[in-house]
Structure 1
Amino acid sequence: MTPKQLREMNFSLWCDFVQRDFLDCTFSALLAQADSLLNGATSNPSIFATALQSPQYAQQKESLRGLDSKSIYEHLAFADIAKAADILAPLHRENAHHGFVSIEIDPFLCDDAPRSIDEGVRIFETLNKPNVMIKVPATQAGYEVMSALLARSIPVNATLIFSPDQAKACMEAFALARKHSLAQAVVSIFVSRIDRAYGGATLGIANAKECYACIQDFDDHNSRALFASTGVKGGDLPPTYYIDSLLLPNAINTAPLDALKAFLGRLHTPEFEALRVDDRIVKQTCGETREPNRIIHYDKLLDEGLVAFKQSFSTMLESL
């Protein structure tokens, strides 16, 4: 496998990290060394909850004193997202599938479709960057939100996908909007959380491939699978495990910094050339009759993910 071959099969890396000093000092350099494989970034409430505690934000926080905490958060976070969007803009102008950065709707609106739609539109219009994606959790209300935003030509990142049924529901929501819009969309499949919940390091990969197959079945060239939650926490696995195991066509892997740096550090080495895409497994998965995996409690994982994002968001707002 070579970087050129990965690019030709439309495989991309996105950075699962947004922080001001990183954007100011490191992100552009990382893009330059990535041989065009790294072409996007993602954020979430947990990332911002940690990032906004950095001393780099102290002066701007002081200037915003007197505003409510959510307004302060938006001033800080929107500045970072806009900066990332500007850094990625040349990639987006060159290829409309690349160069995106995503920001999530207030997680407390996850079950309120009308308010989530209004918030998604407001965030996108406020940032006024064509390469910003609005992240929407894959709840029942979320499917309506995804479709409505996409129909307005607002790029969408459907997040917290654990099950093939969720992946299929996201693609069905996208399909409803496609008569109005060809805006880019991704379906963020969470991988390592399944392994951490159920032990081992294979169930998450197998489940992710099954979700990927559901997405591929729709043959929507403006929607792709995005493998998220790909950080290795503990154990003996290498930091690149969840990237190496999911090198699939028309897919994105959004990875934490340590995994990204380890993966990119092997470019043009014999170790990197030894990586392979297992087309046989992919084709077999795509052709199987899929049933819900009885081992994985998908609803529980989704609920836990929503709770974690809400807790992070609350903690962050309280700190402001």
Structure 2
Amino acid sequence: MSDRLKKLSDAGVSIWLDDLSRERIETGNLASLVEEKSVVGVTTNPTIFAAAIANGERYDEQVAQLVDKGESVDRVIFELTTEDVRNACDILQPVAERTAYDGRVSIEVEPDLANDTEATIASARALWAAVDRPNALIKIPATKEGLPAITAAIAEGISVNVTLIFGKVRYQEVMDAYLSGLEQARDAGLDLGRINSVASFFVSRVDTEVDARLEKIGSDEALDLRGKAAVANARVAYAAYEEVIASDRWKLLAESGANPQRPLWASTGVKNPDYSDTLYVTDLVVRDTVNTMPEKTLDAFADHGDLQGDQVTGKSGEAQAVFDQLAGVGIDFEDVLVVLETEGVDKFKKSWAELVETVKGQMDKAAQA
């Protein structure tokens, strides 16, 4: 087993793989990552599935069967992806049984529904029923329209991975949506211990956007702030999480058996080659969090990751000082967050379109065979 990854896990960081394919499942690769690299969860998205389906023949038989039945491309996508997530959930089930909150596998509602509350709820219900595994998580974006969908899903006992969170205020709204859903579930007599959730706070994209603006400003003071916004933003978010966990509202739910909605650091692959390739792992170590990593980042940390203990608790003041400096050189961080959420939804929609095109191509090949 990787010593560095084990130490990261022992520090209270749950390591989730940001990738899934039928090849990983059927070759035993995913099981090996669980055994050898401390992986205790999996996240997926349409781009991940598009790559898996385009690059592997393991989907061909199922695609052919669905084409023979006359299924639509949307239905084929639904069947292929829920099959993979169901099987991954089975591989991770022993982890779910031995840990409080891990062993989870996420699958995303259709990104085109990000601004449609009722359609998002319907998609979440359909995915939850199709995967039919207690350790699944349904990914719902943290758009304004997504917030009531989060509450509704949790209230029905559907476990949720809230995705596309960029800023503290929206994150606070996400936590409120989760608690509201738990309160409704409790009042309806549901077992709160069966409901799980994580809140996916995006990291690297913040530096990408802020750094570009700092470089445009170009002063020495501005350039010195590059690579600092994302970690500061996450540390401020964690402080907001601590406030909620300390609240009387949460304590009442915890007494009823509720699970905390852990912060999940998403988008932790480093995009700037000038930065350490483990930056968003090393600098965000804190207990009771999740770090979901592409395999490249996972391997980088296993090879040379530097574990320096808790890098988050008690650092919100330091993080706020970074935001004060950013404002001082002319960075409008609220505008950064608006741009990131808008781009995030657009990227999700484009990745879905990419998945549709990929599956259409596979269906055409199957029809001609």
Does TM-score exceed 0.5, indicating one fold? yes
In structure 2, the CA distance between the partners of 1:24 and 1:234, relative to structure 1 (3 Å rule), is farther
In structure 2, the CA distance between the partners of 1:151 and 1:245, relative to structure 1 (3 Å rule), is same
Matched-pair contact (CA < 8 Å) for 2:232–2:316: no
Match of 1:317 in 2: 356
TM-superposed CA distance for 1:124, in Å, is 0.5
Residue of 192, 198, 205 corresponding to 1:193: 205
Residue type of the partner of 2:357? E
Residue of 282, 293, 317 corresponding to 2:315: 282
SS at match of 2:54: coil
Structure with the largest fraction of helix: 2
Can you list the C-alpha shifts for 1:112-170, whole angstroms capped at 9, x where unaligned?
A: 11121121011101111000000000011111011111111211111000000111000
Match of 2:130 in 1: 126
Match of 1:222 in 2: 260
Structure 1: stretches of 5+ with no match in the other structure: none
Residue type of the partner of 1:171? M
| Identical amino acids, percent of aligned pairs | 29
Whether 1:29 and 2:25 are equivalent positions in the alignment is: no
Match of 1:78 in 2: 82
Matched-pair contact (CA < 8 Å) for 1:109–1:115: yes
What are the equivalent positions in structure 2 for 1:205-284 lying under 5 Å apart?
A: 205-219=231-245, 221-266=259-304, 272=306, 275-278=308-311, 281-282=314-315, 284=317
TM-superposed CA distance for 1:315, in Å, is 2.2
Paired residue total = 312
Q: Aligned equivalents of 1:228 and 1:23: distance in 2? A: 22
Matched-pair contact (CA < 8 Å) for 1:69–1:318: no
Q: Aligned equivalents of 1:278 and 1:131: distance in 2? A: 29
In structure 2, the CA distance between the partners of 1:279 and 1:126, relative to structure 1 (3 Å rule), is closer
TM-superposed CA distance for 1:264, in Å, is 2.8
Structure 2: stretches of 5+ with no match in the other structure: 186-191, 212-225, 251-258, 361-369
Residue type of the partner of 1:167? Y
Q: Aligned equivalents of 2:10 and 2:231: distance in 1? A: 23
Residue type of the partner of 1:18? L
Greater shift in the superposed pair: 121-130 or 173-182: 173-182
Q: Aligned equivalents of 1:78 and 1:275: distance in 2? A: 38
Matched-pair contact (CA < 8 Å) for 1:210–1:285: no
TM-superposed CA distance for 1:85, in Å, is 0.5
Scaled by the length of structure 2, the TM-score of the pair is: 0.78
Match of 2:46 in 1: 45
Greater shift in the superposed pair: 164-173 or 214-223: 214-223
Q: Aligned equivalents of 1:160 and 1:255: distance in 2? A: 15
Residue type of the partner of 1:46? T
Scaled by the length of structure 1, the TM-score of the pair is: 0.89
Q: Aligned equivalents of 1:283 and 1:193: distance in 2? A: 20
SS at match of 2:274: coil
Residue type of the partner of 2:20? V
Can you list the C-alpha shifts for 1:262-315, whole angstroms capped at 9, x where unaligned?
A: 22345xxxx64x522236643646999x99983352111111011111111112
Residue type of the partner of 2:197? A
Residue type of the partner of 1:211? A
Q: Aligned equivalents of 1:90 and 1:166: distance in 2? A: 34
